[in-house]
Amino acid sequence: MGGQDVTDSRNAPEASDMTIHDSANPMRPSLSIIVPTYEEADSLPPLFARIGDLHDSGLSLEVIVVDDDSRDGTEQAMRNLALPWARLITRRGQRGLSSAVLTGLRAARGDTMIVMDADLSHPPEAIPAMVAALDQGADFVVGSRYVPGGSTEDGWGVLRWINSKVATVMARPFTTVKDCMSGFLGFRADAWQRAVDLDPVGYKIGLELIVKCQCRNVVEVPIHFSTRQHGESKLTLKVQIQYLDHVLRLLRWKHPKWSSFVPFALIGLSGIGVYAGLLAIFGALLDGLLSTDLQVILAIALTIGWNFLWDRWLAFWYARGDSIWRQFIGFMAVCAVPVAINYFVTTWLVDDRMIAPAAGAIGALIGSAAGVVFNWFVARAIVFRRRSSS
């Protein structure tokens, strides 16, 4: 029964890389449960036994398993279960928990969405309480380990625990939700469609949705988080690095000006060190070969290059797609202003005040301070422009 391949037009952009094993149940359920899987074949029978209890108790639901072509018997397991309210979507050539969840959400037909892991870490029995919280006015619900009544099964190694804590603390600037790392989520169908700029990198689709759907009333329903019985965790080092990238993206999304200016100022500060270091090196190595003026010019040019490359990468990340040469010429023109200030302050101090030894440093300092603010504004406005769409 079931298992015939049906191409679903709702997924047109992806349709060529995936198969929907649709049991063609004509009834529209009120609840859609999305379960992303990668190599979870052994967990599916016990998972569906427990969700089946909810179904049998009268909850109108469908389950959408989104599998990234595990080839571990997942398709066979779903065929054996032959549940008219369960669908399997097999994605090919694409991996990733968050994007799998979005694929599932796009195919879902219910008014209410629940997202959960396949490995039974998330108890299906908590779903009615999560749905009830939504019915009572919550915009978003999270199955939470960190509210009273919630817990985590013993046996988490120190490392995994520290890992989870550090990740949670890093998300604090974006949300006050205690268990914002949870992948056990609930919301109404329109909430994720309302979310702006969804950028599903890595694991933390919950954090992404909480931050970007502008949900105000997030409710945490306590759960007991169980240790998986079958298979292995997919939380690899790569996934953890993706999380750092995710946090950076959220920071840039939420505070675009500060996350541009702060790296810009720090890079500017590093430029002072580079400039002083180069002058010292040139003084020691090139003294007979290059005049002092040329040494200064060379040091300035290299420092501008240093600042340009770092700024382009870290402070003006959004303009990396634009022509680097056009940007470099613009950047040099912008830099000419603080360089000139630097030069005049230095010579003025040398000529009129006779405090030559400190003059270089003072000139550099005043030039840099004025330069950082000026340069940032002008560079942003002229050299590294934001394209209107992003």
Q: Which does 144 bind (CB under 5 to 8 A by kind): ligand GDD, Mn ion, none?
A: none
Residue with tokens 């840099």: 368
Q: Which does 14 bind (CB under 5 to 8 A by kind): ligand GDD, Mn ion, none?
A: none
Interface segment toward ligand GDD; rule CB under 6 A; list 19-27, 44-52, 95-103, 215-223 = 95-103
Q: Which does 100 bind (CB under 5 to 8 A by kind): ligand GDD, Mn ion, none?
A: ligand GDD
- Nearest approach in angstroms of CB 312 to Mn ion is 39
- Nearest approach in angstroms of CB 248 to Mn ion is 25
Residue nearer to ligand GDD on the CB measure, 228 or 385: 228
Residues forming contacts to Mn ion in the complex (CB under 5 A) are: 119, 121, 228
- Nearest approach in angstroms of CB 71 to ligand GDD is 13
| Interaction mask 182-221, ligand GDD, x per CB under 6 A | xx--------------------------------------
Q: Which does 168 bind (CB under 5 to 8 A by kind): Mn ion, ligand GDD, none?
A: none
Calculate Rg over the CA atoms of the chain.
28
* CB contact at 8 A, 204 and 246: yes
- Nearest approach in angstroms of CB 261 to ligand GDD is 32
β-pairing verdict for 112-115 and 185-188: antiparallel
Residue nearer to ligand GDD on the CB measure, 19 or 182: 182
Alpha-carbon distance of 351 to 237, in angstroms, equals 59
* CB contact at 8 A, 11 and 107: yes
Interface segment toward ligand GDD; rule CB under 6 A; list 176-184, 281-289, 316-324, 380-388 = 176-184
Residue 152 touching ligand GDD (CB under 6 A): no
The correct pick among 233, 291, 292, 347 for binding ligand GDD (CB under 6 A) is 233
Q: Where in 8-37 is the site for ligand GDD (CB under 6 A)?
A: 36-37
Residue 68 touching ligand GDD (CB under 6 A): yes
Report long-range pairs for 278-281 (Cβ below 8 Å, ≥24 apart). 278/302, 278/303
Interface segment toward ligand GDD; rule CB under 6 A; list 55-63, 90-98, 242-250, 301-309 = 90-98
Residue 226 touching ligand GDD (CB under 6 A): no
The correct pick among 41, 66, 223, 300 for binding ligand GDD (CB under 6 A) is 66
- Nearest approach in angstroms of CB 194 to ligand GDD is 22
Q: Which does 183 bind (CB under 5 to 8 A by kind): ligand GDD, Mn ion, none?
A: ligand GDD
Edge-to-edge strands, sheet with 86-91? 5-6, 18-21, 86-91, 61-67, 31-37, 112-115, 185-188, 140-144, 218-222
Q: Which does 378 bind (CB under 5 to 8 A by kind): ligand GDD, Mn ion, none?
A: none
Q: Which does 250 bind (CB under 5 to 8 A by kind): Mn ion, ligand GDD, none?
A: none
Beta bridge partners of 36: 66
Which amino acid, residue 20? I
The correct pick among 19, 23, 40, 211 for binding ligand GDD (CB under 6 A) is 40
The correct pick among 63, 81, 97, 130 for binding ligand GDD (CB under 6 A) is 97
- Residue nearest ligand GDD, Cβ-based: 183
- Residues of this chain that interact with ligand GDD (CB under 6 A) are 36-38, 40, 66-68, 95-97, 100, 117-119, 121, 164, 181-183, 228, 233-235
